[in-house]
Amino acid sequence: MEYALEALNISKSYGNFRALNDVTIQVPKGSIYGLLGPNGAGKTSLIRIINQITIPDSGMIKLNNEPLSPHHISHIGYMPEERGLYKSMKVGEQCIYLARLKGLGKAEAKEKLLYWFERLGMQGWWNKKLQELSKGMAQKVQFIVTVLHEPDLLIFDEPFSGFDPVNADLIKDEILRLRDQGATIIFSTHRMESVEEMCDDIALINKSKVVLQGKLDEVKQRYRNRTYAVSIICPNQAAALERMRMLGTVEPAAFKGLDNTTDMTIQIPGNVTVPHVLQELTSLGELTHFSEVIPSVNQIFIQTVRQDG
């Protein structure tokens, strides 16, 4: 497999505080890679090292199989959680200035900016000062500045912060489109539903070390626990629940089925087969719903962090 970015055995301390402890991640080319973790876990420290804002105490960063060096700055686009635009500058003037810092000529920068302004519905913003814009509008400007020079690697730290649902969906679609056009994306967020929708691979950092990583679908497979959601229409709800408790662990359902249904989740041990559970259920009444409950990224996140406690 080809990797766009490899962080190999990265450690970083600030005084007596260990921010990163022998962290290794490998980001496949052309993927969206979710970098997850609770506040203070070490994500921002790793991102700052990738962007050459700080250097690691030990370990190596490789970009496109080359040791990271100053000339790679133009190959990376970074949208930090704390935005860094100049509030009193006009939007167009500021975007051209920042694009030229990334190596674009003035004419090329303006051409690309006009394309993006039209694409994101920002016509008429060129001569506005940033302080005149809402937080969401300013976020669009920051997004454009990040992607304008068409870098190989894009790093988005909480990219949907400040967006209403419509504009969050717009930016999500643009990130997916950039991935489809060949960009590699590192995506750091606390919005687990966005991870579910967008990420191909994930790494979870907790207390300065990687505690979970891999392809998202494979990670979810590892956390399957033979739990099923059930809805059944039956004459005696109490008897049905008691019968199911003889097969496995029964909990109230987190969903609501049709009217007059008995709704539950049941976790069955390895020696009980799914066909046997179905047979028992259909003997109790009319089975209207039966599906496996696959753990969400949010559930996996919480479970892993608590276990790492």
Q: Does domain 225-293 match CATH 3.30.70?
A: yes
Residue 28's pLDDT is 96
Residue type for 200, please?
D
Residue type for 53, please?
I
Pair 63, 75: CB distance under 8 Å: yes
Pair 153, 66: CB distance under 8 Å: no
Given a cut of 70, the residues of the chain with pLDDT beneath it are: 83, 254-259, 309
In the chain, residues under CATH classification 3.40.50.300 are: 3-221
Query: Comparing C-alpha atoms, which of 49, 39, 67, 61 is closest to residue 13?
Result: 49
Residue with tokens 């490998």: 26
CATH architecture under which domain 3-221 falls = 3-Layer(aba) Sandwich (3.40)
At residue 309's C-alpha, the angle toward residues 23 and 185, to 5°, is 40
Residue 255's pLDDT is 61
In whole angstroms, give the CA distance from residue 34 to residue 176.
13
Token readout for 245 is 């408790």
In whole angstroms, give the CA distance from residue 80 to residue 94.
17
Pair 186, 35: CB distance under 8 Å: yes
In the chain, residues under CATH classification 3.30.70 are: 225-293
Residue 18's pLDDT is 93
212 by DSSP, 3-state: which? Answer: strand
Residue 162's pLDDT is 80
Residue type for 9, please?
N
Residue 205's pLDDT is 95
pLDDT digits (tens, 9 = 90+) for 18-43: 999 999 999 999 999 999 999 888 99
Token readout for 227 is 């739990």
pLDDT digits (tens, 9 = 90+) for 133-169: 888 888 898 999 999 999 999 999 988 888 889 999 9
